[in-house]
Amino acid sequence: MASRIPDLVIGVKPKELIKIAIVDDDENDSLMAIQALKKSGEFVCAGTYGSANEALAQIPKVNPDAVLMDIRMPGHVRH
């Protein structure tokens, strides 16, 4: 009878997904970006934010690897 040992390589970590934060005031664009990240198999959405101020307050808490940001959002950033 053959042994059923899982196909794991000892000492090899599973591939970690790259965490991406999304900053966009257009909800449809954010949803499309989330779907694209999911389909890639290499990225995961770390959070979505509808304004630069919200992103500045929340992104440090989720510590993403990168931020995907709409650079044409209206408004300004309060310091």
Q: pLDDT tens, 25-36?
A: 999 999 999 999
Q: Where are the beta strands (DSSP E) in 18-78?
A: 18-23, 43-49, 66-69
The model's pTM: 0.74
Question: CB of 70 within 8 A of CB of 24?
Answer: yes
Res 31: pLDDT? 96
Q: pLDDT tens, 26-67?
A: 999 999 999 999 999 999 999 999 999 999 999 999 999 999
Res 78: pLDDT? 60
* Number of Cβ within a 10 Å radius of residue 67: 15
Domain ranges in the chain?
22-69
